[in-house]
Amino acid sequence: MFLFVAIAAELIGTSLMKATEGFTRLWPTMACLIAYGASFVLLAQAVKGIPVGVAYAIWSGVGTAAIVAIGAVFLGEPVTTVKVAAISLIIAGVVMLNINGTAH
């Protein structure tokens, strides 16, 4: 549960990054930094029960895939074949780490 909330907080922080305008706008910057701080605190809690490599792979992989989707849906960013292939490789890597991490 900690890991999924950590991912959500990271997604909020990353989604707010453009609104900070290079950390020059106070309130979006504060919200972005709070979201990232919460994400790291929650990730630290998650690694108490999940191997750190597996937890980080899930956190970064799901976060990356979700941000690409958010960019496409809400920010009008293009979805290219290369992006889809890259995200597929990231997801495959996370799955492989999970399989390997639970086998031991």
Query: Rounded CA gap, 61 and 50, in Å?
Result: 16
pLDDT per residue over 48-95, tens digit each?
999 998 899 899 999 999 999 999 998 889 999 999 999 999 989 888
pTM above 0.75, yes or no: yes
Q: DSSP letters of 30-63?
A: HHHHHHHHHHHHHHHHHTTTS-HHHHHHHHHHHH
CA 59 to chain centre: 5
Q: Which of 20, 13, 22, 99 is nearest to 53 (CA)?
A: 99
